[in-house]
Amino acid sequence: MIILDTQKDYKKHINLLKSQGEIISLVPTMGNLHDGHLSLVKIAKKKSSKVITTIFINPLQFGKDEDFTSYPRTMSQDVDKLQKLNCDILFAPKSKNEVFNKIDNLKNLKAGPKGNILCGKIRPGHFDGVLKVIYMLFQLTEPDLSVFGVKDFQQLYLIKQMAKIYFPKLKIISAPTIRNKNGLALSSRNSYLDKTSMEIAPVFYKILLDGINYLKNSNNVEETVNYITTNLEKNSFLVNYVSFLNAELEKIKLNTSDKKILLSSVKLEQTRLIDNVEFS
Ligand code: PAF
């Protein structure tokens, strides 16, 4: 695996791959790689001839009281994991300037109204920051495809919308959520959970699944949201939101075969967990 940390070297390698006619896939991450990230790399491997993973903890997507400085940094373990999967290139920019050299051009890149609901409501500006880094990585890499996890459903939706406008030839692949054996969705932030919270955390997903059954019987969204919220609170979760939306992040219509998603974010002690479940 070739490891690069400057934009200049990265661009040089990208140009070489392009001149060789390689099909390039991009897997952007913030590192602290777990099996969820590795599943994205595996999907990328199957669908392209060269896989590039990026590791960059993007300061623009963290609020001022958030965990930018404490976000887990595990570069040498991450490199080992990527090497085992035969990832071709790791781009791990050594500074912000190796990504955002043209930040002025990005001022107008905003996630818009759908970036201000759900997680965007509790993390103002978060999705603007995500779109800015992804826009830069797409522009630098010009990949044929890029893989993102469905676990961050709103992020995936907003990246797809942005890519449609600015990178119309790029294919965005959605990868299924990877869970531990108890059902907890894998996330780098799970490493913040202590032993007791680790035992409680899987209940989050169970309550969401139970909520979908409740909706099927009650046929009443508001009542179901209250039911789920009460259940989460009873189990020590502080609820940020519980929301039933369609694939366009709009209000669902019941009694249709449309794809519906139950999305939720909670806090357990100081740790924010997000999860979602699709159903029809
Ligand atoms: O999901 C993440 O890890 C990050 O938000 C992403 C997409 C790598 C952008 O920094």
What does the pLDDT look like over 121-144, one tens digit per residue?
Answer: 999 999 999 999 999 999 999 999
| Strands of the sheet with 271-279, listed across from one edge | 238-246, 260-268, 271-279
| Residues having CB within 6 Å of any atom of ligand 1 | 28-30, 58, 61, 130, 133-134, 152, 155
Q: What is the pLDDT of residue 50?
A: 98
Nearest to 60 by CA among 160, 135, 152, 8: 135
Residues 6 or more apart in contact with residue 142 via CB below 8 angstroms: 14, 18, 24
With 0-12 / 13-18 / 19 or more C-beta atoms within 10 angstroms meaning exposed / middle / buried, residue 187 is: buried
Residue 56 CA: nearest ligand 1 atom is 10
Q: How far is the CA of 223 from the centre of ligand 1 (A)?
A: 33
Architecture label for domain 2-175 = 3-Layer(aba) Sandwich (3.40)
Cα torsion angle, 179, 185, 188, 192, sign: negative
Q: How far is the CA of 23 from the centre of ligand 1 (A)?
A: 22
User: Whole-angstrom Cα distance, residue 280 to residue 266?
Assistant: 24
Residues 6 or more apart in contact with residue 277 via CB below 8 angstroms: 205, 208, 209, 212, 261, 262
Q: What is the pLDDT of residue 104?
A: 66
Check if the beta carbon of residue 39 is closer than 8 Å to that of residue 46.
Answer: no
| Residue 126 annotated in active site | no
Mutate to test the pocket of ligand 1, among 55, 58, 128, 159 (most ligand atoms within 8 A of CB): 58
Q: In a structure prediction context, what are the per-residue pLDDT tens digits for the chain, which is 280 residues long?
A: 999 999 999 999 999 999 999 999 999 999 999 999 999 999 999 999 999 999 999 999 999 999 999 999 999 999 999 999 999 999 999 999 999 976 667 888 999 999 999 999 999 999 999 999 999 999 999 999 999 999 999 999 999 999 999 999 999 999 999 999 999 999 999 999 999 999 999 999 999 999 999 999 999 999 999 999 999 999 999 999 999 999 999 999 999 999 999 999 999 999 999 999 999 9
Reduced DSSP (H G I as helix, E B as strand, rest coil) percent helix, strand, coil of the chain, to 5: 45, 20, 35
Residue 58 CA: nearest ligand 1 atom is 10
Angle, CA 35 vertex, CA 34 and CA 36 arms, to 5°: 90
Check if the beta carbon of residue 43 is closer than 8 Å to that of residue 147.
Answer: yes
Residue 134 CA: nearest ligand 1 atom is 9
Q: What is the pLDDT of residue 77?
A: 98
The domain spans of the chain are 2-175, 188-279
Residue owning the nearest CA to atom 1 of ligand 1:
29
User: Whole-angstrom Cα distance, residue 86 to residue 273?
Assistant: 30
Q: Domain spanning 188-279 has what CATH number?
A: 3.30.1300.10
Residue listed under structure tokens 């030839």: 169
User: Letter for the amino acid at 133?
Assistant: V
